[in-house]
Structure 1
Amino acid sequence: MQLIDAAAFHRSTGDFRSLSRRYARGELVRVRKGVYAAKDEWISLTPWERYRQTVLAVKLELPQSKFCLNTAASLWDLELLEVPSHVHLSGASRGHRGETHPTTSAAVLPSGLTGIEGITAYGIARHGPQEPTVRHQELLLTPLPETVAAVIARDSFAAGVVLADHAIGTRRTSGPRVSREELLELAARLDSGARRRWVTRVLDFAVANSGSAGESLSRAQMHVLGFPAPLLQANFHIGGHFIARTDFFWPKFKLIGEFDGDAKYLRDEYLGGQTARQAVLAEKKREDKLRAAGFKVVRWDWATASDSARLGALLRNAGLPGSGNRNKNTL
């Protein structure tokens, strides 16, 4: 998708009216002040793609922008639990810090026009003081390690675990990784004692071998709910033959847990040349072999992983004992 910078358009064409006319007809959305996009293209984007385009629009609107927190994390291609509601900027003076409401700040159509389903708006959040930045993909961002530590310090336990697992994990292939030790050093330098303890707690729980964001979220929810810790990425051999590598395994209870994200059956890189139907059939055969060997298998999706009550009920019904109390250290 191509963003339209009104100022650049005016300079190159001398045309000061066609954009406003197209906007008035509902052909364009205003992503940021002076930055437009074709409405049909904008609506076709996923929320994450719209967010990235909004960040690029902010760069056009405010060329000296320095991005921090969840915005910087997304630009470092780190996994976040949800799309940020704001674009986070660093370096605001005390009187200019704060947030603008996302529903009035971006990606809007003229009043009175309909058919705007799917148009997502993001506000601006300004933070101070000025933080060091590095240039990454032509944007100024807070450095990767500082970004990870800062986001964990402000986020929930589950969101922090998703981010930490990915930042230090072996599954991160689209960008640089950061070590747990470096993050712990940064955590120790945070001004707030409460935030130092919080970031340390999340990092102590983080692992490098979580297979996906959904697995990280599930594991964090299990911990908060007081369930026993599972073995991760356990290999199963039956009759001397490799059968499966599972997401979660509780040997004492002969229970296997599997997180099923949609990508497992829809994205080519996960299908390994199979069709979605073939992948589902192969998964069923694998599970049948595990069950025949005396293991119980329980599965859940992103919606269940996101709902601690649902996930807790599912695991208890599968025979996994929980303490019945939420872990106070992760609330």
Structure 2
Amino acid sequence: MLSSDAFHIAPLGPDLVAWAWQQWFMDNMNEFIVASRYGLESGSVRELSRRYKKGELVRVRKGIYVDKQHWLGLKPWDRYAATARAVAAENPSAAFCFETAALFWGLHIVGVPSHIHLATASRGHCGTRSPSTTAAVGPSGSTGLERIRTYGTYRHYYPTSTVSLRGLQVTDLPQTTVNVLARGPFTKGVVLADHAISAKRFPTLATSKDALARAAESLASKAKRQRVNAIIGFADINSGSAGESLSRAQMHLLGFPLPELQCEFHDALGFVARTDFFWRDQGIIGEFDGDAKYLKDEYLRGQSAREAVLAEKKREDRLRAMGFRVVRWDWATANDPAKLGAKLLAAGLRPQNTPKRTIHPRVRG
């Protein structure tokens, strides 16, 4: 995205980060009514059963309740995260892995996982479990949960060491990243890998390509190691957002030449912009426009959405006056290779390679 100022996140010291994480976890855990704790405080859990039967509460996990209207109002990603926290509340010793561990680390992953992923050292306990989220049937004959997605658990036979994060047991950051990369397609992998190595977007926690490559050595499959190492090699610390990472991965698969990232432009009046993508030899600038750019305060920096759009137009006019062509797209286009390819071709960008055939691994869970 074009930016007149670099977006900066001040790094926090380890102690402050640990405190912030603990506070975050406690704040989120307070969304639940835990039957065991409620019983100690009130002397009885009958009130919970009564409220559940009246349709006021949802039972997310055994003994873990939440206000029904709150639950129904959550977006799918938030509901997935809340389910994972409920699993942790039910079983504090649970070891999280794969996409669920990535969620707790705060990594960017594309799409909502279908299960809460847990690691177990017992072959007898691995496998899937159906969603346990339930609500009582109301007068209308409906629970209210029929049209929303609920999440079961997937226990993987994965005897591995874990680290403590926000009071949870999770696989460490490099291993979590590599495990998710090995399970998904190239495009989603690039989004994750770019984020994991970016100290700017992932302050105090960012890992390195070398650490990811070492973690990849633990993968049992040669094919998975090759696929993961290809993603690691392609990852770029200069990618500014998940949408930019996804766009760059699509460009690569479509055979377009790779652009320079985060280039600065100046004219006679001074600094003009820092751009997402720049094809120097073709004089083309590419910009990914996410919704947050015009809706979130940290991007607006005191401007209204209308003022931000106007400022963006003025910067683009200055770039065009310098002789550059500018092409823009959004999430819907970045997610659709055909649309993105058509957009880039219309801007005058030409593929330099034959589009690459990708194999999307079948991933259970």
Work out whether the TM-score is over 0.5.
yes
Spell out structure 1 runs of 4+ moving beyond 6 A. Answer: none
Match of 1:281 in 2: 310
Conservation of the 8 A alpha-carbon contact between 1:171 and 1:210? no
Q: Return the structure number with greater relative CO, CA threshold 8 A, min gap 6.
A: 2
Say if 2:46 is the partner of 1:17.
yes
- Give the superposition deviation at 1:329: 5.9
Conservation of the 8 A alpha-carbon contact between 1:77 and 1:174? no
Match of 2:154 in 1: 125
- Give the superposition deviation at 1:52: 2.2
Spell out the pairing of 1:250-261 with structure 2 (5 A cutoff): 250-261=279-290
The correspondence for 2:55, drawn from 20, 23, 26, is: 26
Q: Deviations over 1:105-164 (max 9, x none)?
A: 143322432544874411211011321011110111111111111111111111111111
Conservation of the 8 A alpha-carbon contact between 1:42 and 1:119? no
Say if 2:208 is the partner of 1:179.
yes
Q: Percent identity?
A: 53
- C-alpha change, 1:116 and 1:125, in structure 2 (3 Å) is closer
The correspondence for 2:78, drawn from 37, 42, 49, is: 49
Residue 294 of structure 2 aligns with an amino acid whose one-letter code is Y
Match of 1:225 in 2: 254
Match of 1:242 in 2: 271
Conservation of the 8 A alpha-carbon contact between 2:265 and 2:274? yes
TM-score by length of 1: 0.93
Conservation of the 8 A alpha-carbon contact between 1:260 and 1:299? yes
Instruction: Give the Cα–Cα distance (whole angstroms) in 2 for the partners of residues 220 and 190 of structure 1.
Output: 23
- Give the superposition deviation at 1:208: 0.4
The correspondence for 1:63, drawn from 78, 92, 117, is: 92
Q: Deviations over 1:248-287 (max 9, x none)?
A: 1112222111000011111111111211111111001111
Structure 1 SS opposite 2:85: helix
The correspondence for 1:201, drawn from 225, 230, 244, is: 230
Spell out the pairing of 1:104-115 with structure 2 (5 A cutoff): 105-111=131-137, 112-113=141-142, 115=144
- C-alpha change, 1:249 and 1:117, in structure 2 (3 Å) is farther
- C-alpha change, 1:268 and 1:35, in structure 2 (3 Å) is same
Structure 2 SS opposite 1:204: helix
Residue 110 of structure 1 aligns with an amino acid whose one-letter code is A
The correspondence for 2:345, drawn from 303, 316, 319, is: 316
Say if 2:80 is the partner of 1:80.
no
- Give the superposition deviation at 1:38: 0.3
Match of 1:299 in 2: 328
The correspondence for 2:193, drawn from 155, 159, 164, is: 164
Residue 72 of structure 2 aligns with an amino acid whose one-letter code is I
Instruction: Give the Cα–Cα distance (whole angstroms) in 2 for the partners of residues 3 and 321 of structure 1.
Output: 54
Conservation of the 8 A alpha-carbon contact between 1:170 and 1:209? no
Residue 152 of structure 1 aligns with an amino acid whose one-letter code is L
The correspondence for 1:98, drawn from 118, 121, 127, is: 127
RMSD of equivalent CA atoms? 2.0
Gaps of 5+ in 2: 1-29, 361-365
Say if 2:298 is the partner of 1:272.
no
Most deviating of 292-301 and 193-202: 292-301
Say if 2:214 is the partner of 1:188.
no
Structure 2 SS opposite 1:232: strand
Conservation of the 8 A alpha-carbon contact between 2:243 and 2:334? yes
Give the number of equivalent residue pairs: 328
Gaps of 5+ in 1: none
Instruction: Give the Cα–Cα distance (whole angstroms) in 1 for the partners of residues 209 and 316 of structure 2.
Output: 35
Residue 107 of structure 1 aligns with an amino acid whose one-letter code is T
Structure 1 SS opposite 2:298: helix
Instruction: Give the Cα–Cα distance (whole angstroms) in 1 for the partners of residues 86 and 355 of structure 2.
Output: 42
